[in-house]
Structure 1
């Protein structure tokens, strides 16, 4: 059976936690048999996702009118070397992904758009809240005509949590430790290379 049952997590609370922790979604829709893909932060609210898109993005027109959309949220991931296990294994890749399907519709209200941008900024600034997007910010008002707000009603949830669950407990724990170590090291290495 594929995918293996032990790598599926159907707990919606776990998937919501991934969405809240890693809110940058890969948004996929199809126009004339061609996929359109955009990366957008989305905020989860009561079974729906709220987002904003530049009006000049070719995908913007597909985020209206009750169209279908597919979303991927990506959590941590890394290569798992057999050297971390206490038993003989083959190399693998561990990851956390959430795949969603839904129906999207545009929210036309400028007042709702403005409040949504403020609310999203507040969410993304957590927990430190070093910046507050004020409602009287002139740049905010100036840009409202170039942004469209949409909401996605989630119709299908799929959690893919491949975390060495099929191994003995000590190996699963070692894989978890490696996932944390590798993600911390990868970020540092990547940033050192490009900056």
Structure 2
């Protein structure tokens, strides 16, 4: 993935946080007949392996899982907050007019060799973990055991597990770092404006988070190069 230096995110904990917050990722595999892709909700096991391990399941009828053996490295793309940025939010619009629209986003790409797992005990653990993760904050959470045993057994026969130890991981937070501070603050204000058609509170929080990290001295910031400044990235 092309990542200008000012947009690079190397902190594993930050990338893991995005993956947990946006678990529906695009799994991309080089199959026998070309690229295969499917949106899959993943569970991240951060403490397994140096960079974490991803687990999920897909329908047995989905041909993608049959491509995993011998497919080599696969790619899993997690998409965080994103949205359109109008140049009308930039303070510099009123002075230089050298502004154009762009799109801000945060994304994580994880790579590793995937294994298809057709084992009932493994699959049951994955279903239990996935359910607890997404039901845990409900006042009366649903549990896998709530389903009749025969019904559950039939459903599980229609699923196949997927496990991917993460070998490589990259993060890109394109949050207007290639603009002057006044322009970046204008983006935050615009994204939070109640009457703006492009209001986007999650993206505003992400842009502001990069500003705060820089102000606290936790994020080295180099003035953008001529290649980066004002150009699509």
- Report if aligned partners of 2:26, 2:78 keep a CA contact under 8 Å in 1: yes
Match of 2:219 in 1: none
Change (3 A) 1:38 1:178: farther
Change (3 A) 1:174 1:108: same
* TM, length-normalised to structure 2: 0.71
Match of 1:106 in 2: 116
Indicate the SS of the match to 1:167: coil
Match of 1:48 in 2: 53
**May I ask how many residue pairs the two structures share in their alignment?**
184
CA–CA distance in structure 2, aligned partners of residues 11 and 176 of structure 1: 23
Q: Deviations over 1:33-86 (max 9, x none)?
A: 511110010010020001001111010112346742101101111111111111
Alignment of 1:32-181 (within 5 A): 32=32, 34-45=34-45, 46=47, 47-64=52-69, 67-88=72-93, 89-128=99-138, 130-135=140-145, 137-138=147-148, 139-179=151-191
Match of 1:3 in 2: 3
Whichever structure has more strand as a proportion of its residues is 1
CA–CA distance in structure 2, aligned partners of residues 151 and 176 of structure 1: 38
CA–CA distance in structure 2, aligned partners of residues 129 and 60 of structure 1: 35
| Deviation larger for 25-34 or 43-52 | 25-34
* TM, length-normalised to structure 1: 0.84
CA–CA distance in structure 2, aligned partners of residues 33 and 66 of structure 1: 11
- Report if aligned partners of 2:31, 2:71 keep a CA contact under 8 Å in 1: no
- Report if aligned partners of 1:104, 1:153 keep a CA contact under 8 Å in 2: yes
Match of 1:182 in 2: 199
Q: CA RMSD in A?
A: 2.2
- Report if aligned partners of 1:20, 1:43 keep a CA contact under 8 Å in 2: yes
